[in-house]
């Protein structure tokens, strides 16, 4: 008789969402189409798109620096998702928690990268048509995901979820940055 497989420590398939609900950060159950879940989902899609952009970075002298910058943004998005996944009734609890939070320094970092790329004056003429190369196209997908996440975030106050202005500013700036990165990627030699 063959040995039975060892019991799973904890399965990802909890089955608690089979009824069309999911949990906010501190356990409150809401529908999977709840506006906060839609916003967190859009941020998750953005995080995945950034991962794709990171994976398509061509080899270059500054590839490690660009990869690190994208990874840093991904970590900041995880913090943003946590804040958005918190029920309004638990906002004070979240604010006083040890969870990482988007701060003014995160916005400043994005502004600095935007300024650095603008100083290099990437070439572009008119409206961008994505697809000149894989990395530029990946950055465009990330940019459009950032705009979708921004729209979902901006809609939350109408549903009773307060949103710190810094979070909207962060996503707006991030999409600007991704647009600039895509323009720069279009003109970079591909390896």
Pairing of strands 21-23, 29-31: antiparallel
pLDDT of residue 84 exceeding 90:
yes
Instruction: Please enumerate in sequence order all residues whose Cβ is within 8 A of that of 150, keeping only pairs 6 or more positions apart, or say none.
Output: 168, 171, 172, 175
Quote the pLDDT of residue 32: 80
Between 185 and 19, residue with greater pLDDT: 185
User: What pTM was estimated for this model as a whole?
Assistant: 0.85
How would residue 104 be classed by pLDDT, with cut points 50, 70 and 90?
very high
What are 31's strand-pairing partners? Answer: 21
CATH level 3 topology of 21-187: Hypothetical Protein Ta1238; Chain: A; (1.20.1200)
pLDDT of residue 151 exceeding 60:
yes
Neighbours of 47 (CB within 10 A): 20
Lowest mean pLDDT among 121-130, 134-143, 150-159: 121-130
Q: State pLDDT tens for residues 42-75.
A: 999 999 999 999 999 888 777 888 899 999 999 9
Distance in angstroms (rounded) separating the CA atoms of residues 45 and 149:
8
Quote the pLDDT of residue 93: 92
Between 16 and 149, residue with greater pLDDT: 149
Percent of the chain topping pLDDT 90: 56
Are the C-beta atoms of residues 43 and 163 closer than 8 Å to each other?
Answer: no
Distance in angstroms (rounded) separating the CA atoms of residues 110 and 76:
11
Quote the pLDDT of residue 22: 76
Domain ranges of the chain: 21-187
Q: What is the mean pLDDT of residues 175-185?
A: 93
Quote the pLDDT of residue 4: 61
Q: What is the mean pLDDT of residues 32-43?
A: 91
The answer for 15, left when phi > 0, alpha when psi is -120 to 50, beta otherwise, is left
């Amino acid at each position: 008789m063959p040995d039975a497989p060892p019991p799973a420590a904890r399965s990802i398939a909890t089955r608690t969402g089979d009824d069309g609900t999911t949990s906010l950060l501190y356990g409150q159950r809401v529908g999977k189409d709840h506006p906060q879940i839609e916003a967190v989902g859009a941020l998750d899609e953005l995080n995945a798109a950034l991962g794709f952009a990171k994976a398509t970075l061509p080899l270059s002298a500054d590839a490690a620096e660009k990869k690190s910058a994208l990874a840093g943004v991904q970590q900041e998005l995880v913090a943003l998702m946590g804040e958005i996944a918190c029920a309004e009734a638990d906002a004070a609890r979240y604010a006083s928690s040890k969870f990482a939070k988007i701060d003014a320094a995160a916005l400043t970092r994005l502004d600095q990268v935007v300024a650095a790329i603008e100083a290099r004056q990437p070439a572009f003429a008119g409206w961008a048509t994505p697809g000149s190369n894989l990395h530029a196209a990946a950055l465009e997908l990330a940019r459009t995901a950032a705009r979708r996440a921004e729209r979902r975030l901006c809609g939350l106050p109408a549903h009773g979820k307060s949103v710190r202005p810094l979070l909207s500013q962060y996503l707006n700036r991030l999409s600007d940055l991704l647009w600039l990165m895509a323009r720069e990627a279009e003109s970079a030699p591909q390896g």
